[in-house]
Amino acid sequence: MKVILPLHKIRDGHTVTKQTSQKKYTVASSIKIHGSTRKEIKAEPDVRFLVSGDGNVNAVANTLEVVIDLISDDVEFLLSEGTV
């Protein structure tokens, strides 16, 4: 079942698409950079990261409404949270 929800209602790790495209993104509240120094960047409270399959990262408002393809476990979680 496909549902449109604001990003702040979606848990990290879920795959979403923007309403205007089919490109898939993974939702994240933080990103880790590995290299000569390791660094973790945490999003501000009103921001979420959308990470594309090719590694590009977009910082967007957590109110952005995106499309998520839900499975039964997700629906149960959202119902328990009072989201839907």
Is the CATH number 1.20.120 carried by domain 2-81? no
For the full predicted model, state whether its pTM sits above 0.95.
Answer: no
Taking only the tens place, the pLDDT of each residue in 21-63 is 899 999 999 999 888 889 999 999 999 999 999 999 999 999 9
User: Residue 2: pLDDT above 90?
Assistant: no
Residue for token pair 């977009």: 58
- Pairwise CA distance, residues 47 & 53, whole Å: 20
Cα angle at 42 between 84 and 76, to 5 degrees?
20
Identify the pLDDT of residue 35.
86
Identify the pLDDT of residue 82.
59
* Phi and psi at residue 53, to the nearest 5°: -60, -25
Identify the pLDDT of residue 74.
62
